[in-house]
Amino acid sequence: MSMVNIRHMSMIMLPWQMPMPMGVRPYSFLFVMVLMMGIRMAMDMVVLHTWMHVEVAVMFTQ
pLDDT value at position 1?
A: 47
**36 within 8 A of 23, measured Cβ to Cβ:** no
Return d(Cα 30, Cα 27) in angstroms, integer.
5
**24 within 8 A of 34, measured Cβ to Cβ:** no
- Domain holding 12, by residue range, is 3-61
How many domains does one find in the chain?
A: 1
pLDDT value at position 31?
A: 82
13-47 as b/e: b if 16+ CB within 10 A: eeeeeeeeeeeeeeeeeeeeeeeeeeeeeeeeeee
pTM, two decimals, is 0.39
Per residue of the chain (62 residues), give pLDDT as tens. Answer: 455 565 555 555 555 555 555 555 667 777 888 888 888 888 888 888 888 888 888 888 87
